Amino acid sequence: MGKSLTRKIIESHYVSGSMTPGEEVFIKVDQTLTHDINAVMTYLAFEATGLNRRRTECSVSYLDHNLLYVDHKTPDDHIYLQSAAKRFGVHVSRPGNGICHTVHVARFGAPGKISMGGDSHTPHGGSIGMLCIGVGGMDVATAMTGVPMRLKMPRVIQVKLTGRLKPGVNAKEVILKMLEKVTIKGGLGNVYEYTGEGAASLEVPQRATITNMGAELGATSSIFPADEQVRKFLKAQQREEAYTELLPDEDAEYDDTIEINLSELEPLISCPHQPDNVMPLKDVEKKPVQQVFIGSCTNTSYADVAKAALVFKGHHVNENVSCTCGIASRQTYKELMRDGYIEMLLDAGVRMLEISCGPCCAIGQTPATDGIAVRTSNRNFKGRAGNPNAKIYLVSPESAAATAILGTFASAEDVMGEDVKILGDIHEPDAYEVDDSMIIKPLPEEEAKKVEIVRGPNIKPLPIPDVPENNLVAPVSLKGGNNISTDDITPASAEFSSMRSNIPLMSQYCYHRYAPDFAARAKELGKSIIIGGENYGQGSSREHAAINPMYLGVKCVIAKSIARIHKGNLVNHGIIPMIFANPDDYDKIDLFDELSIENLLEQIPTRKVIVKDITKNFSFEVNLDLTDNEVEVVLCGGQLRYLKKQLAESNK
Ligand code: F3S
């Protein structure tokens, strides 16, 4: 049997381990990316390794998420990040150049490469036949040292696309359909590989909408073949030399197959508060919409925004709607401006925002109390927009524009009628205007060594976890339900995001919206254990959802299941992720129960641990779903200690 594209790329980067799905494989990583609200910890960790320069082919530091300088903290972070990048040979994409994933695919990505990014939507790069994996910031620091990276060998699922999208139906509908089929946790351990004539018909930015939001499936990654569409895109970016054709074998073997006929798709909507709560847009109960946001890395390509602008043409934003648009890159913004689409948006009363993530991660444009917000971004968790009372619905840019006009959920066809077919004529430009003047290139190594790293008062040292105790006795400091997201653990917003370089400060807001008394309680308890339900730690890759609890003394998380990236972050930051062997034991445990684990250090390598609930006088078993390498990291007390040990050994 032939090979999938995913398998071919992993094989070409193979260093050691097993290529059987579910087993641990070590691979070489070509590229890394980081962004401003997660990266300070990455570069502090890289500094702590003592290396002078990154050992990847290319690493890029994007200053893109939080451009709202409400006080000194974010500019402190940006200055630190820019100076650290210069010091270590990392490119910097300056504020205003664009959102990391969009810029990375356009200016740095290449088919067949492996990239790891400190952001869960890193698989965006799968749109050009790269294998791109979202990881925690500590993993990015590790990848930058050039050591082979561990990966659980994924199952590869073929998604066979047939037919073609109708005008008014967006690539967003494809990924919403996938979410309906697979659910938010069904993708765990999988790479989704898109194939077929339907896949061939999609342009690179349409593919990026799908691979980007594959993160919402809980998947390791998503990928499209590097075919004629990719060649066309790279040529339009004046980078045709980066193109190599890379396809799965015709008889490629897959672990499963899903089929979607693009011609049958109709506008869909994801309803609060999970991305997989999907239904046909025409069936959703009509409610007054308070806010519309057309933006984010997911859905603001040239064609996306041009189509939204055409829906607005001759109409105006409803007087009860606040409608904003944040375009993902400076390049796209300029193309849209040149072709008159920005003017159409302005004429319709759309408020143009700065080129950044902004509202997608609650940096501005928080909805009103109980407000209904309709967004083209990728997440609709409670509180994701900065207000836990708000209800976020996710749609395509065409549907968002129609909604802004009519003031309630609507599709492009509802506004344009038969004229909707003109949207089918809109495509990406044959040539983009290329201007990399907002990208700072790395200095030669000797010059870089002289660069001084600038640390403003917001840059606090990276906290390092303790080595696990052999006999642990600790109370339960929090009992959470299912689907706790990293947004629940470490809230998004301009205010909170700017605290991420300052753990003593930020930890005070850990679980701020979900369990406001948690931080004070955990601190008072000294050490403690968190109990969680299904899919604990889903969502954003932010490792602060591990660092802050660790700083507050949390030693283990025992949950029914734990999301992939968050599990990695817990391991990296010295919190042991444990899974109930019998999920019914979850119901027996209460807040403040005293739990005890004896001989923990001997039990960890067996991956089965007996926990005693001293308060209720019963014992239960938990499993550690850890690879051999992760076991070593846990026993070492986290990734930084482990990495230093590894580097010291390799220098002997
Ligand atoms: Fe930024 Fe939202 Fe994308 S935070 S990277 S626009 S998912």
Nearest-atom index, ligand 1, CA of 378? 7
Nearest-atom index, ligand 1, CA of 328? 6
- Cα separation, 380 vs 358, in Å, equals 15
So what's the pLDDT on residue 539?
85
Interval between CA 224 and ligand 1 midpoint (Å): 21
So what's the pLDDT on residue 496?
86
Whole-Å CA distances, 539 to 72, 98, 484: 28, 22, 9
H-only helix segments in 349-507: 397-406, 412-416, 445-449, 486-489, 494-497, 503-506
Which of 189, 117, 29, 24 is closest to 626 using CA atoms?
Answer: 24
CATH code: domain 268-417 is: 3.30.499.10
Whole-Å CA distances, 501 to 38, 40, 99, 329, 456: 8, 6, 20, 25, 10
**Class of the 472-650 domain?**
alpha beta
Nearest-atom index, ligand 1, CA of 101? 5
- Cα separation, 98 vs 356, in Å, equals 6
Interval between CA 361 and ligand 1 midpoint (Å): 7
- Identify whether the C-beta of residue 265 lies closer than 8 Å to the C-beta of residue 162: no
The kind and range of the H/E element at 557 are: strand 554-559
- Cα separation, 129 vs 301, in Å, equals 18
Nearest-atom index, ligand 1, CA of 65? 1
Interval between CA 79 and ligand 1 midpoint (Å): 21
CA angle 565/571/577 to nearest 5° reads 85
12, HSE (Cβ side, Cα atoms, 13 Å): 14
Interval between CA 303 and ligand 1 midpoint (Å): 19
Q: Which two tokens stand for residue 415?
A: 């506004």
Q: Which two tokens stand for residue 36?
A: 């401003």
Tell me whether the CATH fold assigned to 5-264 matches the one assigned to 472-650. Answer: no
Best residue among 60, 61, 99 to mutate for probing ligand 1's pocket (most ligand atoms within 8 Å of CB) is: 99
CB neighbours of residue 650 within 10 Å:
10
Interval between CA 7 and ligand 1 midpoint (Å): 28
pLDDT for 257-279, tens place per residue? 999 999 999 999 999 999 999 99
Best residue among 104, 172, 293, 360 to mutate for probing ligand 1's pocket (most ligand atoms within 8 Å of CB) is: 360
Nearest-atom index, ligand 1, CA of 64? 1
Question: Does the pTM exceed 0.85?
Answer: yes
Task: Read off the DSSP letter of residue 109.
Answer: -
Best residue among 376, 377, 392, 500 to mutate for probing ligand 1's pocket (most ligand atoms within 8 Å of CB) is: 377
Which of 24, 297, 6 is closest to 148 using CA atoms?
Answer: 24
- Identify whether the C-beta of residue 342 lies closer than 8 Å to the C-beta of residue 352: yes
Q: Which residues of 165-192 are buried (b: 16+ CB within 10 A; e: fewer)?
A: bbbbbbbbbbbbbbbeebbbbebbebbb
Nearest-atom index, ligand 1, CA of 295? 6
So what's the pLDDT on residue 646?
85
- Cα separation, 285 vs 325, in Å, equals 25
Whole-Å CA distances, 505 to 80, 179, 382, 384: 18, 36, 23, 21
Interval between CA 568 and ligand 1 midpoint (Å): 21
Partners of 161 in the β-ladder: 260
Best residue among 63, 64, 101 to mutate for probing ligand 1's pocket (most ligand atoms within 8 Å of CB) is: 101
Interval between CA 357 and ligand 1 midpoint (Å): 5
Interval between CA 417 and ligand 1 midpoint (Å): 32
Interval between CA 297 and ligand 1 midpoint (Å): 5
Nearest-atom index, ligand 1, CA of 296? 6
H-only helix segments in 339-391: 341-347
In this structure, the residue with its CA closest to atom 1 of ligand 1 is 357
In this structure, the residue with its CA closest to atom 3 of ligand 1 is 297
In this structure, the residue with its CA closest to atom 2 of ligand 1 is 360
Beta-strand pair 472-479/594-597: antiparallel
Report the percentage of the chain scoring pLDDT > 90: 93
Identify the segments of the chain with pLDDT beneath 70. Answer: 652
Nearest-atom index, ligand 1, CA of 100? 5
Task: Please provide the size of the chain in residues.
Answer: 652
Task: Read off the DSSP letter of residue 97.
Answer: S
CB neighbours of residue 225 within 10 Å:
21
Domain boundaries defined on the chain: 5-264, 268-417, 472-650
Interval between CA 364 and ligand 1 midpoint (Å): 13
Q: Which two tokens stand for residue 367?
A: 């909805």
- Identify whether the C-beta of residue 431 lies closer than 8 Å to the C-beta of residue 307: no
Q: Which two tokens stand for residue 346?
A: 């302005």
Which of 224, 35, 15, 180 is closest to 118 using CA atoms?
Answer: 35
Pocket, ligand 1, Cβ cutoff 6 A: 65, 99-101, 119, 121, 296-297, 357, 360-361, 377-378
Q: Which two tokens stand for residue 175?
A: 């990924």
Nearest-atom index, ligand 1, CA of 121? 7
Token pair 């949390």: residue: 554
- Cα separation, 302 vs 282, in Å, equals 26
So what's the pLDDT on residue 404?
98
**Class of the 5-264 domain?**
alpha beta
Interval between CA 274 and ligand 1 midpoint (Å): 16
Amino acid at 594: E
So what's the pLDDT on residue 540?
81
The kind and range of the H/E element at 567 are: helix 564-572
- Identify whether the C-beta of residue 507 lies closer than 8 Å to the C-beta of residue 463: no
CA torsion angle for 376, 380, 383, 387 (degrees, to 10)?
50
CA angle 272/257/559 to nearest 5° reads 45
Whole-Å CA distances, 557 to 200, 203, 484, 569: 43, 42, 12, 12
Interval between CA 652 and ligand 1 midpoint (Å): 42
- Cα separation, 94 vs 114, in Å, equals 24
Interval between CA 67 and ligand 1 midpoint (Å): 13
Q: Which two tokens stand for residue 498?
A: 């700017």
pLDDT for 426-456, tens place per residue? 999 999 999 999 999 999 999 999 999 999 9
- Cα separation, 270 vs 268, in Å, equals 7
So what's the pLDDT on residue 384?
84
Contacts of 652 (CB under 8 A, 6+ apart): none
